[in-house]
A and B are shown apart, each in its own frame.
Chain A
Amino acid sequence: MKKMLLTGVLLALSGAGAVKVGVLLPLTGAGSVSGQAARSGYLLALDEINRAGGVLGKPLEVEFADDGSSPAKAVPEFVKLVTVEKVDFMAGGVSSATSIAISGPAKQYNTFMAWIGAAAVPVEDAFADHPYFFHYHPWSYYNFEAILGYFKTLKTQKKAKNIAIAYEDGPFGSAGIADTVAAFKKAGFNVVMTEKFKTGSGNFGPIVSKAKAAKPDIFYWVGYDTDALPLATEIKQQNLQLGLLYGTPPSWPVGFEKNKLSDNVAGLSLWLPASPQAESRKFVAAYKKKFGTVTEEYFAPLAYVNLKTLAAAINKAGSTDKDKVAAELARTNTPTPFGPLTFSKSNKTQYQGFKAGNWLHFQFLGDDRVPVFPIRFAQKPMVWGK
């Protein structure tokens, strides 16, 4: 009896039988701003989960792996987590390119995936028939739906009619650009310029000159953080008169809000520290207590929600059986910093979390990102430049 008790204690202390979640993130490379933010969110959630008793009566274990923002690195890291570390569930995933790359092994090992990023439609195609794929981040068509909704409001309220589009020539900017233009036209806008650019080149002189000749009300750019300041600088230098400069980079440059050239630049975010929801305020307070700062990156609360909801579903399921956990996660209905989270079908996947209605539109005003739309979340009136 004593021997059995001792074995049981040793087993519990060694953590054997504990639930393991593998988290694949871009901790280095181009996507590292979002990846590092997500890691902080996971660590905060892990603290809270284990303080509250863990999962299935044991401390939850999280195993982080760095995909280096590269599909070539993501695949072996994913396979290692699943086969060597033998994680029970996989979470994380920021980049679309890395998520597509691991779709093969994910199906091969029939991996349970609670995925936070990867908004591109090809990822949706790749995981369309995967029975354990829970996607938290809105798909790109939901993002565009939110943008179009905002622009339609600007059309009504500010008489915005002409849109100039500049997009980076990689998959992020180029995929679906024809549909974007068609959707703007269908909504009654004149698309007066559609130009591609090399991201990171900083060479926006010719594009801004062309835009100036086309006289747009809204300048909509799809690119990365590296393009934000050069574009804003060129627009200011060439004195291009706009109603709004609106961008959708996955992250913004560090310190951009402190630069005067960022004034009135607008963008899209799932969340801002100033978001008024009670869950958001709780998250900000907990984050500040743990890390001493406040993050502006929405991947931090997204990762936090991801792990908390996964842990709750495992506890409700009472085991790590994938079908039981999937059934419980599918029933999720919980308040989050982004608003309530429930899963429903998207165009092609079974379990889609956040959708178009969760997006916030903000402007850089003063030294902050301030929500300006939807109106119910607006903290200041939007500044229209014309």
Chain B
Amino acid sequence: MELFLQTLLNGLLQSGIYALVASGLALAVGVVGIVNFAHGEFLMIGAFLAWALSAYLGVDPLISLPFAALAVFGVGALTYRVSIRHVLLAPELNQMLLTFGLGILLQNVALMWLGGNTRTVTTPYQGSSLSLGDLSVGGPKAVAFGFAVAILAGLYAVLYRTTLGRQMRAVAQNRRGSQLIGIDVDRVYLIAFAVSCALAAVAGVLVAVLLFASPTVGLVFALKAFAIIVMAGLGNLTGVLWASVVLGVSEALVQTYVPGGGGWSDAVFFLLIFATLVFRSFRGAR
């Protein structure tokens, strides 16, 4: 029973990181309508910023978090201006090719500039944990989970309680109609895309604390984030947390109770995507 409860807890804590990565991606898909295959690379930039500030200036990653978010917000805005806005009316395949290429470019620039080395961040709280009887809750993962909940709640509040949020929802529903009523669609897209990148950076900072920074660190999490937004329904922010929990707990259960389950963790999320899509199509047909 103790192993089962710890497994559930492991899955729940892991889902916090997944939700953090997926929330930004869900915003880009939901508002801008673009599947950003470079999302993992914006996460990587956040991770490296946290590492660099920690290694060279001794800044704790949690303190560097707002700076990393702001910096990557700027990178995201620039990326939107230079590239994304030019393909928004292009076929989806062109959009995907652009973001995919952007991801490869960023990854290779990082490889050439920083090399393939894995970098780690050192903090006094990395190994901290809270004991609940015989169960243990990892401190940084619990913080990541808390961040995910707070960010998703904040995003929800912005979308449903502010003028900018209403504009975002309007633009997401009908781009041309929004233009007709005087919304600066381009500005809204820029903000949404840049915020999406900033959220990836926030996830990157926490990933640097929990795991490591490397040019390829974003790939694993971007794939999981895609699975989550498909499960949640494209653009559905509120579903992101639940989908993340389903993915995290499913992986933990498979890893613990299926023989050789550690090798199946990638298969778990593909299976969940498959099951979700089949279920959706079945429900749609009725």
Contacts and interface: CB of A to CB of B under 8 A. Distances in A.
A32 B117 contact: yes
A77 B111 CA distance: 19
B55 A255 contact: yes
A217 interface: no
Q: Which of B2, B212, B216, B261 has the most CB of A within 10 A?
A: B212
B112 A258 contact: no
Contacts of A233: 126-127, 138, 140, 210
Interface residues of B, number: 47
A207 B262 contact: yes
A33 B116 CA distance: 7
B127 A254 contact: no
Given A209-B3, A209-B7, A238-B136, A225 B118 contact: yes
A94 B263 CA distance: 26
Interface in B179-221: 207, 210-212, 214, 216-217, 220
A260 B122 contact: yes
A197 to B, nearest CB: 4
Contacts of B23: none
A36 interface: yes
Contacts of A259: 120, 122, 126
For chain A, the bracket of interface size reads 35 or more
A205 B17 CA distance: 13
A226 B212 contact: yes
B265 interface: yes
Given A234-B138, A253-B117, A259-B126, A198 B3 contact: no
A28 B111 contact: yes
B172 to A, nearest CB: 32
Contacts, number: 144
B6 interface: yes
Contact of B136 (A169, A230, A239): A239
Contacts of A209: 3, 6-7, 10, 256
B255 to A, nearest CB: 4
Contact of B14 (A36, A205, A225, A254): A205
B127 A28 contact: no
In terms of DSSP, what is the predominant structure of the interface of chain B? helix
A259 B55 CA distance: 12
B126 A254 contact: no
Contact of B129 (A69, A229, A239): A239
A29 B111 contact: yes
Interface in A220-244: 224-226, 228-230, 232-234, 236-239
Contacts of B14: 203, 205
Nearest to A35: B116
A230 B211 contact: yes
Interface string B230-271: 000000000000000000000110011000111101100000
Contacts of B28: none
B3 A226 contact: no
B66 interface: no
A206 to B, nearest CB: 4
Contacts of B126: 229, 233, 236, 259-261
| Closest 4 pairs (CB-CB, A-B) | A205-B10, A236-B127, A206-B255, A32-B116
Given A29-B111, A205-B138, A237-B128, 20 more contacts: A32-B111, A33-B116, A166-B262, A196-B262, A198-B266, A206-B7, A210-B256, A225-B117, A226-B118, A226-B211, A237-B138, A237-B139, A238-B129, A238-B138, A239-B129, A255-B119, A255-B120, A259-B122, A260-B122, A261-B126
Interface of B: 2-3, 6-7, 10-11, 13-14, 55, 111-112, 115-120, 122, 124, 126-129, 131, 136, 138-141, 207, 210-212, 214, 216-217, 220, 251-252, 255-256, 260-263, 265-266
